[in-house]
Amino acid sequence: AAPKPKPKVEDGVFGTSGGIGFTKQNELFVGRVAMIGFAASLLGEAITGKGILAQLNLETGIPIYEAEPLLLFFILFTLLGAIGALGDRGQFVDDPPTGIEGAVIPPGKGIRGALGLKEGGPLFGFTKANELFVGRLAQLGIAFSLIGEIITGKGALAQLNIETGIPISDIEPLVLFNVAFFFFAAINPGTGKFVTDEAEED
Amino acid sequence: AAPKPKPKVEDGVFGTSGGIGFTKQNELFVGRVAMIGFAASLLGEAITGKGILAQLNLETGIPIYEAEPLLLFFILFTLLGAIGALGDRGQFVDDPPTGIEGAVIPPGKGIRGALGLKEGGPLFGFTKANELFVGRLAQLGIAFSLIGEIITGKGALAQLNIETGIPISDIEPLVLFNVAFFFFAAINPGTGKFVTDEAEED
């Protein structure tokens, strides 16, 4: 008998099943861009004391509907991306288990081997799906801080009552940690691999 | 040879692969609750002129970090749910095609048959995945309106400069449409069905 046709997965743009829209890989890329952008805007605000919109010379302290249409469109795009509405196709799956030899850390020559870490693996244990989650957090952070700055005229940090406009050495450690975390997560590839909905048929 | 073990899908809580966290069905349920809650809070504000927090006698017009911890936790939960971080397991798939007989609308006896609509099907063509998307929109709407009301002391509608505290007959049609849409989407089952990650193995 002919194989039963595989049902179409509803993970395209706005929950459609036509195979149109971002894959999880596309989303992860957008998320990485968001991580870098969010980290850079926080760092820029900490140093200059101006929110990202003020840094870009855009008008702030105005009602939301008076903001630039392009800016509002960008916020909408970012929010829809964060909830996976622009498409969320395919799956991230764990790397296949490597058997007993994968469970033993081979002796290495570098610092990481000396610390009992694998020489070749990822530095910390984020999977690609974890990375996608961090990217969505960054997208939410961008949307909230932009909307907040449009209305209040204050940057993301100033809205949280964090001191800004200071030398890097005086920046709150928590802010620096966040900036470093997002920068690092943006370039950390993450374990696991992407499979399309169709690849499952094999 | 033994069948190759299926790789674990990374769609659990925070992108983990251990099978822990919301399924898409769980998310859809939370989303439906969010739709009803958001619609009810908008309707309540339109009539009473008070935002949902003011209706609940909670303090507003304060910095975000002075808000009730339970309220902040609720906002965090809602946002994490909206980006699928609490788990996004399994898939919604289209109903199987019904062949040629499914393509022809059989003659019916009711109003819907007279209008050329199928008697039995959904009234409008939302799939479960579309419903999930609407639920996430409602979750974002709740989070934004709560944060906005905490800080500004104004409800979601007042923040958008929409007139409130008026009889139902005077409410803006767009507001009523939104309320009706969310209420209806909350109870519309949606087409398609849910399959777990494991079910694919069959």
SS3 A89: strand
Task: Examine the pLDDT at B202 and tell me if it is beyond 70.
Answer: no
The stretch A91-120 carries a mean pLDDT of 63
Count of residues for chain B? 202
| Mean pLDDT of the region A75-91 | 93
Contacts of B150 in chain A (CB under 8 A): none
Whether residue A91 and residue B11 make contact (CB cut-off 8 A), yes or no, is yes
For residue A77, the model assigns a pLDDT of 94
pLDDT of amino acid B190 = 87
Helix (H, G, I), strand (E, B) or coil at A162: coil
Q: What is the pLDDT of residue A18?
A: 82
Q: 3-class DSSP state for residue A9?
A: strand
B164 shares contact with chain A (CB less than 8 Å): no
A97 CB near a chain B CB, below 8 Å?
yes
Helix axes B173-187, B128-152, angle to 10 degrees: 130
Is A133 in Cβ contact with B85 (below 8 Å)? Answer: yes
DSSP line for A103-124: HSPPP-SSHHHHTT--SSS-SS
Joined together, the tokens standing for residue A46 give: 């900490």
pLDDT-derived band at B18, boundaries 50, 70, 90: confident
Does A149 contact B at CB distance below 8 Å?
A: no
Q: Which of B168, B178, B201, B179 is nearest to B47 (CA)?
A: B168
For residues A144 and A41, the answer to whether their CB atoms sit within 8 Å is no
Pairing mode of beta strands B91-93, A91-93: unpaired
Instruction: Say yes or no to pLDDT of B201 above 80.
Output: no
Identify the bridge partners of residue B92 per DSSP, sorted by sequence position: B194
> B136 vs A85: CB contact, 8 Å cut-off?
yes
- Share of residues in chain B with pLDDT > 70 (%): 82
Q: Name the residue with higher pLDDT: B111 or A149.
A: A149
For residue B87, pLDDT over 50 is answered with yes
**Inter-CA distances, B121 with A7, B112, B116, B127, Å:** 19, 10, 12, 12
CB contact under 8 A, A144 and B147: yes
Of A182-191, B181-190, B193-202, give the lowest mean pLDDT range.
B193-202
Which ipTM did the prediction report?
A: 0.75
B14 touches A at CB < 8 Å: yes
B53: Cβ–Cβ under 8 A, 6 or more apart, which residues? Answer: B59, B60, B71, B146, B149, B150, B155
The model's confidence at residue B118, banded by pLDDT at 50, 70 and 90, is low
**CA angle, residues B68, B73, B78, in degrees to nearest 5:** 130
- Greatest pairwise CA separation for chain B in angstroms: 72
Hey, is the C-beta of B94 within 8 angstroms of any chain A C-beta? yes
Residues of B in contact with A82 (CB under 8 A): 82-83
Of A86-95, A104-113, B79-88, minimum mean pLDDT range? A104-113
DSSP A23: B
Do residues B171 and B67 touch, judged by C-beta distance below 8 A? no
Residues A76-94 have a mean pLDDT of 92
Instruction: Give the CA distances from residue B153 to residues B65, B145, B165, in Å, rounded to whole numbers and listed in that order.
Output: 14, 10, 15
Residue B142 near residue B156, CB atoms below 8 Å: no
Whether A176 has its CB under 8 Å from any CB of chain B: the answer is: no
From the list B26, B20, B57, B52, the residue with the least C-alpha distance to B142 is B52
Spatial separation of the C-alpha atoms in residues A42 and A171, rounded to whole Å: 11
Residue of B nearest to A17 (CA): B94
**Window 20-49 of B, Cβ < 8 Å to A:** none
Q: What does residue B22 show for φ and ψ, rounded to 5 degrees?
A: -60, 140
